[in-house]
Amino acid sequence: MKCKIGIIGLGNVGLGLVRILHNKRKALKGKYGFDFEITAISDPVKGSVYDESGLDLATVLDIIEKEGNLENYPSGIRNLNSMRTIRETNTNLIVEATPTNTRTGEPGLTHIKTALSNKKNVVTTNKGPIALHYQELKKLADENEVYLRFEGTVLSGTPALNLVLESLAGCDVSRIQGIVNGTTNFILTKMEEGKSYEDALAEAQKLGYAETDPTADVEGWDAAVKTVIMADVVMGENINIQDVERIGITGITLDDVKKAKENNHRIKLIAEVEKKDDTVKAKVLPREVPLTHPLANVMGAINALTFTTDHLGDVTIIGPGAGRIETGQALLADILALNRMLHKY
């Protein structure tokens, strides 16, 4: 069965995936037996196009680069909105890559529910719906005998959820600790180099790591959302963002950073989920980590997670936590996992 992909949301991540799939079509077929077409793309701003026989990806990329929208794509059915694209097109896999909303989960939540209810597999990088409604979505996927995968919601393409759920299958995980927000880790790294918090933040903004309003990053909200996802998905718990004890890095001074260093420690914004006596506690806090710990040496915008397990003790993964191609890779890994499952390849 050929994979017929519908992409909902053609921002950086969706476009990153299209670029990878276009560049690697031959290699993916040869190495993984992965045979696909992108048959539909729908984006509220860039427009929508559906061609049952598959879109020409070179044309899509070219036209988006030159014109910024799909208006002049030369063939296919036009202007199906996202819901009609999910429901009415001949797709068996929906890639949900619309902007995340961590309060309502919309529009991603409705997109994902609709796709699953229509017996279409879903791959997404959208944190909101997973953080808010993982249990419900998982149930919906199971009932409809389709898959829901979302590696990219934590650490972008660096294996985090697939690592713990699949490669570490069989282990009991009692604790997850990590650096899951690149912006704050970049700021703390720059402060260790001697910059003030304000100067480090300004540099992060200049490089595109931090938004003009940096609250979501520096107050720990982004890390807290990822912590909720890990608690729900890995620990089987059902917690909300309000359940996460959360302190950001705005109170950290150059002096704090210097003093920690003198004691052979580094201040890191550590996300933590811990299971003890069947209770799960989730926190995001700045902490002094000893330099001998793998997380202490994760610098700049890089992310990392340490899983404490019964069979292996600590296992740590370190890699990028954001980026267009990096997050596109998360979608690709999930799509190839689906391909393995569906084709027993």
- Interacting residues with a second copy (CB under 8 A): 20, 24, 27-28, 32, 151, 156-159, 162-163, 166-172, 291-292, 294, 296-299, 311-320, 325-326, 328-329, 332-333, 335-337, 340-342, 344
Min separation Cβ 208 and a second copy, Å: 17
Residue closer to a second copy by CB (options 36, 221) is 36
Residue closer to a second copy by CB (options 109, 235) is 235
For β-strands 313-320 and 93-96, DSSP reports them as unpaired
Min separation Cβ 332 and a second copy, Å: 4
Residue closer to a second copy by CB (options 80, 295) is 295
Min separation Cβ 158 and a second copy, Å: 6
Amino acid at residue number 73: Y
Count of beta carbons in the 10 Å neighbourhood of residue 119:
12
* Residue 206 buriedness (CB in 10 A; 0-12 / 13-18 / 19+): exposed
Structure tokens at 2: 């050929």
What is the 3-class SS of 186-248, one letter each residue? HHHHHHHCCCCHHHHHHHHHHCCCCCCCCHHHHCCHHHHHHHHHHHHHHCCCCCCHHHCEECC
In the chain, the N- to C-terminal Cα span, in Å, equals 12
Residue closer to a second copy by CB (options 11, 319) is 319
Residue closer to a second copy by CB (options 56, 151) is 151
CA-to-CA distance for 138 and 145, rounded, in angstroms? 10
For β-strands 36-43 and 47-50, DSSP reports them as antiparallel
Q: To which residue do tokens 């550590």 refer?
A: 270
Q: Is 226 a catalytic residue?
A: yes
CA angle 54, 26, 147 (to 5 degrees): 60
Min separation Cβ 230 and a second copy, Å: 16
Residue closer to a second copy by CB (options 59, 297) is 297
Q: How far is CA 148 from the centre of its chain?
A: 13
Min separation Cβ 137 and a second copy, Å: 17
Min separation Cβ 120 and a second copy, Å: 16
CA-to-CA distance for 323 and 130, rounded, in angstroms? 20
Closest among 343, 342, 337 to 159, alpha carbons compared: 337
Marked catalytic residue, from 127, 226, 275, 283: 226
Hey, which residues are catalytic here?
A: 226
